[in-house]
Amino acid sequence: MKKSITKGLIFLFITLIISACKEDPQQHLELGEWYAQKGLVEEAILEFKEVTRLYPEVHQNLGRNDFQALSKAHYNLSLMYTKKGWWDYALKEAETCFQMQPTKSHYELVNLIKKRASLEKTGS
């Protein structure tokens, strides 16, 4: 009985969050991070993709917080894609993140994914 109540509350919580973040990229980012922490990779990918969909393709008019949220969504997408073994997608997202914010950690992520992808292709 207690487990079914807990599962029901979790379902209600997720439903409320989803309905509350219809067009709010920050809410989708937070929900994606929550899914990622719980190991729900597919759900996290969908939320991070929604963040990238909600922002315009031209980033010039984005405020600092929105720009950072978009960059973080691309970064998180690259991590989620590596968990799925989708190296080409992971590399594309990591490169986008690096182009947006050329930091050392983003550069290292791009290089790590490139190395791992080449290992996958050579079968090592």
CATH number at residue 58: 1.25.40.10
Q: What is residue 22's three-state secondary structure? A: coil
User: For 34-45, how does the pLDDT look when each residue is reduced to its tens digit (9 = 90+)?
Assistant: 999 999 999 999
Q: How many domains does the chain have?
A: 1
User: For 54-104, how does the pLDDT look when each residue is reduced to its tens digit (9 = 90+)?
Assistant: 998 878 888 999 999 999 999 999 999 999 999 999 999 999 999 999 999
Q: Environment class of residue 86 by beta-carbon count within 10 Å: exposed (0-12), middle (13-18) or buried (19+)?
A: middle
Domain of residue 70: give its range.
2-122
Q: What distance in Å separates the CA atoms of residue 98 and residue 56, rounded to the nearest whole number?
A: 18
Q: What is residue 112's three-state secondary structure? A: helix
User: For 55-69, how does the pLDDT look when each residue is reduced to its tens digit (9 = 90+)?
Assistant: 988 788 889 999 999
